[in-house]
């Protein structure tokens, strides 16, 4: 995949921020910006990734501040924070962040039980984490089964997670 220059991503985010500032104070634009950042972070140079994800996390946290009952806002926190945690070494901050990841994805699913990206993200997290940090391959398999039941045509990501779950048991 081609790398996207950080300046281009920041310019797009500035335009989106200006548009959301003119709109009424809704969580949706902030959550959308955070999810866009989460997606774009995979396409920027590693040196720029953390700064971009920190900005995305601020957007997501603002969305949750505006509307604590917005599933997309909680998922945006889960997505951006999850990508930040992937790069952290194990320590107290990482353990706090992992606990927060569990909270955010569970809050997303409490508000929207059929939120397929959250189900897939939770399954992937539960497979990748060691048990002492909350990893649980059986719960991951349940999340995956629920995602399959909700989504008629499962994406490739479902198959990858399913394979990972099978290998971890």
Q: State pLDDT tens for residues 47-91.
A: 899 999 999 999 999 999 999 999 999 999 999 999 999 877 777
- Counting residues of the chain whose pLDDT is more than 90, the rounded percentage is 62
How far, in Å, CA of 43 to CA of 58, rounded? 19
Cα atoms in the Cβ-side hemisphere of radius 13 Å centred on 30: 23
Mean pLDDT for all residues in the chain: 84
Question: Is residue 9 over pLDDT 70?
Answer: no
Residues of the chain with CATH 1.25.40.10: 1-112
First to last CA, the chain: 32
- Please check the confidence at residue 22 and state whether its pLDDT lies above 50: no
> What tokens were used for 154?
């499962």
Cα–Cα distance between 129 and 89 in angstroms, integer?
13
Section 98-106 average pLDDT: 97
* Cα distance between residue 30 and residue 68, in whole Å: 13
Q: Is 136 left (phi over 0), alpha (psi -120 to 50) or beta?
A: beta
What helix, strand, coil percent values describe the chain, rounded to 5? 80, 0, 20
Proportion of the chain above pLDDT 70, given as a percent: 75
Contact 122, 109 (CB under 8 A): yes
pLDDT score recorded for residue 29: 94
Report for 35-44, 56-65, 79-88, 126-135: range of highest mean pLDDT: 56-65
Confidence class for position 144, pLDDT limits 50, 70, 90 = very high
| 112 phi/psi in degrees, rounded to 5 | -145, 85
Read off φ and ψ for residue 87, nearest 5 degrees. -95, -5
The CATH class of 1-112 is: mainly alpha
């Amino acid at each position: 995949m081609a790398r996207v220059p950080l300046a281009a991503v920041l310019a797009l985010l500035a335009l989106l921020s200006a548009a959301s500032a003119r709109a009424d104070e809704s969580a949706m634009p902030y959550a959308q910006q955070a999810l866009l950042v989460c997606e774009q972070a995979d396409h920027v140079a590693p040196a720029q990734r953390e700064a971009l994800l920190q900005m995305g996390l601020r957007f997501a946290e603002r969305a949750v501040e505006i509307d604590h009952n917005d599933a997309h806002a909680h998922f945006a926190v889960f997505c951006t924070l999850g990508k930040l945690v992937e790069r952290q070494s194990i320590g107290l901050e990482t353990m706090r962040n992992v606990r927060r990841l569990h909270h955010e994805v569970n809050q997303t699913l409490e508000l929207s039980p059929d939120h397929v990206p959250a189900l897939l993200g939770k399954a992937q997290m539960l497979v990748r984490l060691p048990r002492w940090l909350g990893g649980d391959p059986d719960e991951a398999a349940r999340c995956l089964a629920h995602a399959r039941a909700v989504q008629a045509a499962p994406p490739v990501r479902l198959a990858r997670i399913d394979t990972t779950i099978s290998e971890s048991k």
